[in-house]
Structure 1
């Protein structure tokens, strides 16, 4: 394929839980030029090579990347990729939705709280531990975060822990592969020092302080200390200090390496630049052009409420994560493990398709005639209840109708996102506009009921791949050399309005406790 003479092209990659998407984009306008997609395997632990294969398939579907001048990767957050000295993958990556490290998360909180209480700190050990974690890195550990998975490996697979030479995240690893790096033979240099990341994804590890732009290797040492002591040994500290961690690039800073021309930029003079990339939620915010006062609610595999803040946000309870965004600001975020899959569960139980579920749900009344779903099917992250299960309550012989069950599932999903939104609001982040995105937002019932549950009008951006758009926008930003990201139009398809029904959320809050 020859380089376009009419426009400059960039590529945005979304390596998500379910698939890899490649969006070749006009750098000036954000217009879609070509697109490709390939599926990832199901599961909570995945061989990263599957991501590489899917990326290659998606790039080929998108017509190749020979004419692309810059590329960026947005990726699922928190996944733990461990590499040995030769760049080999030590074990399958534990993904964000792997909750097996919940005990290690609790241990890390307790260890942090052991030291004597200082002025202004809670007296309770666990509350004090959460408080100190939030002060250190913006968030308190939960099973989703990378550091808890490192601790799990140290305790359960010490032979693998002993081989760790580098720790990186899914988007870091894929960017490194796009630059042409990978496993090498014994004695050769794998160029682990070429790994790079950005503030947004690094801030979801529990060992990076985004407010001060620094890794906390002492916290990695704490995680690698497999016994119950709170203070890492000298040996564990030395190991943590020797690990290669990806260089954290600034939002508009090009990586010091370019894409392998066999992968991208073959026909581009000087080669294809690689942008820092970022975590999927931060990339979606960039793709949506979010500013202060905006909150996005994304209904995908997980459910995510995220807002933009000019300053760090600290939640001493640890419920809201004080992540960074992709622009130099911050992205206070609350995430549920259970997102649009709640609708899939309803379809399975009721034996209907999506349209049938919509019809049933909209035929019921607000509050589903008294039935309330608390949708913690796979445990939950917000609130932090990794061992929880879903519950249906309020059932009587009079309300046992399919329409009410359908309504309860839709309302339960929206109420769980209202929980997230209210937590963010409670920390002082203004919420003036709601942007509802993700696969679950395609549901007519979800769109119709959202204003009544969320308590305000809801804006519906046109259905699109906002993580990939954000990645492409970042690539265009790096290519431009400007201080600000290019302005790309985001089309709001509709604004949903409706009467608020606070009693529905109140019943939900009572049911979940």
Structure 2
């Protein structure tokens, strides 16, 4: 490994839910080194499952902050043992799981600026946190705080227009409000509140790193158009909050040189720069090299849709974040809970548990599925808030079942029409848009192009353009059945 580890490079760090990982990227954007620590496996003393602690109420979910610190220690020591040449690192940056927060105790900044290179970080930072188990994105215990924040902002839609999202339980502003209300002593003893991303950057900087615009817009606290903290939202959450957060910065900002701790302990060059870390979702937009007009869909347990927007329309569903690549533009994100597990279930029921049979069913049916439309919400959906399976024939009448091949196509078409419908609700318009020739595009032009997996079939645009209004109308019918008539 050592002979390959002496290239000039940048380090990219990922502080995710289940691990801390690093990649080294050379000047040609080739990844030539990787290392990681998995929390459950490598740090069992913290007793996490999936990297978190799920509390007895089933709603509160936290992670021990020192686990993240010790994981960084372990990764760096592994790199050192492998012969990695830290002196060649020009810059470090990275991503953190979005919506997690870290509460630094009064006096922690002095510890950060005077770290001893003779000791690991975990040993020196043990007493630096006023909250030792930090809330993370899986937490859903702040419903009361969400309702209070929406009321203070003039309603859910007003809050969405201001901050990019209605109030969500996992968002950091609501988590801060809960800690202030339930543990005022710890809040009072907190001198700085970081996101996981800015916390990680702070470890490298040796001082508090600012929150970046993009990750900061997942807090229900940042005015996404003005890029400043909302005084209304701050006041609704906790006192003196602005001073505990510090001013936000662009996501591509260089926030300072690396701490001398890393120069003396590992051999980093003193000129190595720390670039603001951001959230994992914004980082995905940058990693996919999206540009204005692009759309990306991650097909996982939940499906996540990313859209680059110039003029967003914040709504009661989905999220609008500041764009990490171009601070004048935006990133819209939609999450669909019924993703791969629902597709696998329909595959098992209608395609003999075979993806080959599933694909054959798609090929045997025509685009538009003869006007048959299906909605498959095996668990309560996020976008839209509905549950159950609903099937409609070409005349718009609800039916109890489809033929097996029709069922497969109805699932696939329905899921993707939902993504288009709700993306358009946030301001996205389907069409070809020229690239914007941004500096970031120049930076990544040497990187391999993402592999093209599929292209639209001829005539697909016309078929689904005509079918989409019918799909939207039927979705509204389902929602009216679930939610009942307006009061």
TM-score (norm 2): 0.70
CA contact (8 A) 2:96 2:280 kept: yes
Partner of 2:169: 143
- State how far apart, in whole Å, the 1-side matches of 2:449 and 2:424 are: 26
Q: Match of 2:211, SS?
A: strand
User: If you compute each CA radius of gyration, which structure gives the higher value, 1 or 2?
Assistant: 2
CA displacement 1:334-354 (0-9 Å, x = unmatched): 321526xx31355478769x9
Matched residue, 1:330 = 329
CA–CA separation in structure 2 for the residues paired with 1:71 and 1:305: 28
Question: Which runs of structure 2 are paired with 1:213-232 in the superposition (5 Å)?
Answer: 213-224=227-238
TM-aligned CA distance change 1:263 to 1:379, over 3 Å:
farther
Distance 1:154 1:376, change over 3 A: farther
1:109 to 143, 146, 150: 150
Aligned to 2:451, the other structure's residue is in SS state strand
- Greater length-normalized contact order (CA 8 Å, ≥ 6 residues apart): 1
Q: Which runs of 5+ in 1 are unaligned?
A: 114-125, 181-190, 225-235, 435-473, 478-482
Seen in structure 2, the aligned counterparts of structure 1 residues 355 and 349 have a Cα distance that, compared at 3 Å, is closer
Q: Residue 304 and residue 359 in structure 1: after superposition, are their counterparts in 2 closer, same or farther (change >3 A)?
A: same
Gap change, CA 1:60 and 1:307, over 3 Å in 2:
farther
* Cα separation, 2, equivalents of 1:307 and 1:319: 11
Task: Please state how far the C-alpha of 1:90 moved relative to its aligned partner.
Answer: 0.6
**Against the structure 1 CA distance between its residues 410 and 101, is the aligned structure 2 distance closer, same or farther, given a 3 Å change threshold?**
farther
1:491 aligns with: 449
* Alignment pair present for 1:76 and 2:102: no
> Which residue pairs with 1:130 in the alignment?
157
Distance of 2:5 and 2:388 partners within structure 1:
59
Alpha-carbon distance, 1:333 to partner: 0.6
Backbone CA RMSD of aligned residues: 4.1
Instruction: Name 2:125's counterpart in structure 1.
Output: none
Which residue in the other structure is 2:424 paired with? 422
Q: CA 1:16–1:213 in structure 2 vs 1: closer, same or farther (change >3 Å)?
A: same
Q: Is the 8 A contact 2:306 2:333 kept in 1?
A: yes
Provide the residue aligned with 2:358 in structure 1: 361
Q: Deviations over 1:415-472 (max 9, x none)?
A: 443344222345xx664279xxxxxxxxxxxxxxxxxxxxxxxxxxxxxxxxxxxxxx
Q: 1:345 to 1:301 in 2, by over 3 A?
A: closer
Contact 2:10/2:92 (<8 A) preserved: yes
* Equivalent-residue separation in structure 2 for 1:423 and 1:214 (angstroms): 25
Given that residues 23 and 31 in structure 2 are in contact (C-alpha distance below 8 angstroms), is that contact kept between their aligned partners in structure 1? yes
Write out aligned runs for 1:271-350 (5 A). Answer: 271-300=271-300, 302-310=302-310, 313-315=312-314, 317=316, 319-336=318-335, 338=337, 342-344=339-341, 346-347=343-344
Please state how far the C-alpha of 1:214 moved relative to its aligned partner: 2.1
Q: Distance in 1 between matches of 2:185 and 2:8?
A: 48
SS in 1 for 2:283: helix
Alpha-carbon distance in 2 for matches of 1:337, 1:50: 30
Gap runs ≥5 in structure 2? 40-48, 53-60, 109-127, 392-397, 480-487
Please give the alpha-carbon distance, in whole angstroms, between the structure 2 residues aligned to 1:413 and 1:17.
27
- Partner Cα distance (1:509, 1:170) in 2: 41
Say whether the 8 Å CA contact 1:203–1:323 is kept in structure 2.
Answer: yes
**Structure 1 pair 360–174 and aligned structure 2 pair: CA distance change class (3 A):** farther
- Tell me the TM-score normalized by structure 1: 0.67
